[in-house]
């Protein structure tokens, strides 16, 4: 029994050893050689070059206490770091290549200086990653890297180009980061909250086809060069509040699922928001567009806020607004606002100054029908909001008589209606007389045959009274109808004068 037990124990020990070896092999992936962290640290302290490929680094690799600078190339590629690494404060004078590695634990590069080119391309950083205060003096390559835990690139400096294309980030902060060269984030995937607050991009900044799964903030970010966010997807709330775009910026065909905030932002160059889909509120409060702002074909699901904005030229051609979407132009100042009135009329929040600014804008664009329609809507809403009194009564008269001076068809209708109305009354009531003697048309009543007035004569009489306030020589009203004729004459002068004024204002322009 004892022999059997020992035999069983030996078998179990061998099985455990094999299991551990297989697990280690799984961690190693491609690597099969184990290198102790102490060995690497000793080489660094001795000034020897570091060149490892396809290895497993076992143990805690801590170089933060090393006083010597790394003056030779530092290469560890396609390897696995099982324990945390700490490179805080190290100065790498030559190139650093950490591409294709897997960092199973935390990785710290705080205040590290990479004076030459460095590469983390294809690396997987599975623990917390810290690059706070790090300086990249050469090109920094993070192409296709994956940072699956929280990471911080705050106060980092990229002196040359940085490449994060197709990289994957979790909760990441680039607060106060400085990109002196081009910053490439094409196709990057930000799975957690992302912050670029107070970051500065001196060269090209491109987030083309980037995907932000949660909230992202570029508050107070500064873009000196072109900024490209074409085809980017912002799934959470997005903030570019107080951001400054010195060069051109492109958001064409991007999607904002949450609210998009651009309040206090400054766009000095050309701004392209064409075909952008704003599914939350698009807020541009006190935003300044100093150059052309193209929102052609943009879609606004919940509203466009331009309160206090300063717009040089904004184009909203073919833009679409959802049924309940609202547009706020309160205190906005714009030289050119290119969008037809029929796109705005059911969505524009009422503000008298904004309506009058739109009227002036449409006249400058020579869109006179839009100017008339905007003014008509402004006067109508103003009338509805006034309390009952003489001022509101005058507005009602102006509305019904001439459409506030911009509807000549209203005046024409009242002219025709008045003539037909009074002519019908004269005809039905036989309120006028026509006299004839031997074919001569004479006034008076001696020896004159009395006839019933015809409809044609009544209408002729009504036209004469409306246009000249004088009856034809062979016709005159009788009795009570004399007063009606006088009223028609007064109305004729009023409506004809009004018709001339309204028509002239349309023809002169």
Q: Please tell me the predicted confidence (pLDDT) of residue 66.
A: 58
Its pTM stands at 0.81
pLDDT digits (tens, 9 = 90+) for 327-381: 999 999 998 999 999 999 999 999 999 999 999 999 999 999 999 999 999 999 9
Torsion of CA 137, 142, 146, 149, to 10 degrees: 20
Across 416-434, average pLDDT = 89
pLDDT digits (tens, 9 = 90+) for 90-107: 999 999 999 999 999 999
CA distance 442 to 479: 20
- In degrees and rounded to multiples of 5, residue 438 shows phi and psi of 50, 40
Q: Please tell me the predicted confidence (pLDDT) of residue 68.
A: 62
Q: Please tell me the predicted confidence (pLDDT) of residue 229.
A: 98
Share in percent of the chain as helix, strand, coil (round to 5): 30, 25, 45
> How long, in residues, is the chain?
509
Q: How many CB atoms lie within 10 A of CB 3?
A: 7
CA distance 116 to 69: 13
Q: Please tell me the predicted confidence (pLDDT) of residue 450.
A: 52
pLDDT digits (tens, 9 = 90+) for 210-236: 999 999 999 999 999 999 999 999 999
């Amino acid at each position: 029994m004892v022999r059997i037990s020992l035999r069983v124990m030996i078998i179990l020990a061998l099985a455990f050893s094999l299991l551990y070896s297989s697990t280690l092999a799984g961690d190693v992936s491609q690597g099969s050689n184990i290198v102790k962290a102490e060995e690497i640290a000793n080489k660094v302290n001795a000034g020897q070059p570091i060149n490892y490929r396809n290895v497993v680094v076992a143990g805690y690799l801590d170089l933060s206490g090393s006083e010597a600078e790394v003056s030779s190339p530092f290469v560890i590629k396609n390897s696995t770091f099982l324990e945390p690494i700490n490179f805080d404060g190290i100065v790498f004078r030559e190139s650093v290549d950490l591409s294709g590695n897997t960092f199973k634990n935390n990785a710290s590069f705080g205040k590290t200086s990479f004076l030459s080119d460095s590469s983390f391309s294809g690396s997987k950083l599975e623990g917390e990653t810290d690059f706070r205060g790090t300086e990249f003096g050469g090109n920094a390559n993070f192409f296709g890297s994956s940072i699956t835990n929280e990471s911080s690139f705050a106060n980092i400096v990229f002196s040359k180009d940085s490449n994060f294309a197709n990289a994957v980030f979790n909760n990441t902060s680039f607060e106060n980061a400085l990109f002196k060269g081009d910053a490439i984030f094409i196709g990057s995937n930000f799975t957690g909250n992302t912050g670029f607050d107070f970051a500065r991009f001196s060269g090209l900044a491109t987030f083309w086809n980037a995907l932000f799964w949660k909230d992202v903030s570029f508050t107070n970010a500064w873009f000196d060069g072109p900024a490209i966010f074409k085809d980017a997807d912002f799934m959470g709330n997005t903030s570019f509040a107080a951001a400054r775009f010195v060069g051109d910026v492109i958001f064409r065909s991007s999607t904002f699922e949450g609210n998009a905030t651009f309040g206090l932002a400054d766009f000095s160059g050309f701004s392209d928001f064409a075909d952008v889909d704003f599914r939350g509120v698009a807020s541009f409060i006190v935003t300044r567009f100093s150059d052309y702002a193209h929102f052609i074909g943009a879609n606004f699901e919940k509203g466009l806020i331009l309160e206090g904005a300063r717009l040089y030229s904004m184009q909203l051609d073919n833009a679409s607004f959802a049924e309940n979407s609202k547009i706020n132009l309160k205190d906005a100042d714009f030289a050119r606002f290119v969008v037809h009135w029929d796109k705005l009329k059911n969505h524009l929040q009422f503000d008298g100054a904004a309506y009058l600014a739109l009227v002036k804008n449409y006249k400058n664009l020579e869109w006179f029908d839009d100017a008339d329609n905007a003014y008509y809507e402004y006067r109508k809403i103003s009338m509805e909001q006034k309390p009952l009194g003489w001022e509101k009564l005058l507005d009602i008269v102006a509305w019904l008589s001439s459409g506030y001076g911009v509807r000549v068809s209203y005046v024409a209708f009242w002219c025709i209606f008045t003539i037909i109305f009074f002519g019908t009354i004269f005809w039905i009531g036989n309120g006028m007389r026509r006299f004839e003697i031997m074919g001569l048309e004479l006034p008076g009543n001696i020896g004159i045959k009395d006839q019933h007035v015809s409809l044609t004569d009544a209408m002729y009489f009504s036209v004469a009274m409306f246009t000249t306030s004088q009856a034809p020589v062979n016709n005159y009203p009788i009795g009570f109808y004399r007063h009606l004729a006088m009223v028609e004459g007064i109305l004729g002068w009023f409506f004809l004068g009004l018709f001339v004024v309204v028509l002239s204002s349309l023809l002169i322009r």
